[in-house]
A and B are shown apart, each in its own frame.
Chain A
């Protein structure tokens, strides 16, 4: 069991009519890993998650979850999964605690065990004080925490989180990340989708970048940055940039490994920021501002999936 991947996919495809949402992906997720799907909207992340959650049947390919066949053994697999969907589907007419107890019963837990788990998890997600209250008046962050508590009610081997912090304010996001980090420390295997780079860097040991239904890159956040970006990025702004962007980009050519002109600034991907600054000065360029920063996953993401807006 220890060496067996929790998720194993080969040539996984999902088509809806003529539209191919997932176009032949291979995956392996090991026990205890925190694994992320990164990608723009429509990249196929949620479709993949739904297949892993055994609520959507793969069009073709092999998919094994917890050593079982995703198509044949759906109920047995779902019994050991925890799912936090993108859209909240809590019962608004039940109390906070009833939501957990009711859900625990779906997994066949005894009444006493369901109540015990509910109280323990409300404590964990810091909602114990709201236990007897309705779900409706809870804030977005509280509802999401309750959904995560609900996903944990059967003590799952694998937790699936589809965009867990989308739409939450920064405080709520940080609290949620901290709770998820604790789950990770307890050895719970987490699989999440996100389009927040900071979330992926915070939570994921390993991630894949998806675009157009395919996996375009795979690795740890660090290794992805090393492979697809440079250690540092210099952001250079010039006075009156918008009219003369291309000319400025040309002037910076050769300063670093790659130059990426944006409407308001030019990004120069470099190994050493200070050396690049010296070079810019040596060339006699007069930028209005220069910022040296470390490369982030966002740079990798934008490099791999492009800057075109996807709706």
Chain B
């Protein structure tokens, strides 16, 4: 039972998860959302950033890339497994 729930949890990490895109990141990807692959190596915010940079090298030209998990700026070592909502935050420019 324990083993079973562990597997479920691992699988859940990225399955069906979509990253919301805004501003220039939306233009680079060409859509409003980015579906994550079912890849158990995507555990933390840093893993996610590396994956995005690998998929879309132009993101590397931006001044910064932030990740928001459940509407809060997230640290690189933060796990993303339990996230309900993830967004990529390119450099902000409100005001």
Bound together? no
B residues touching A (Cβ–Cβ < 8 Å)? none
A residues touching B (Cβ–Cβ < 8 Å)? none
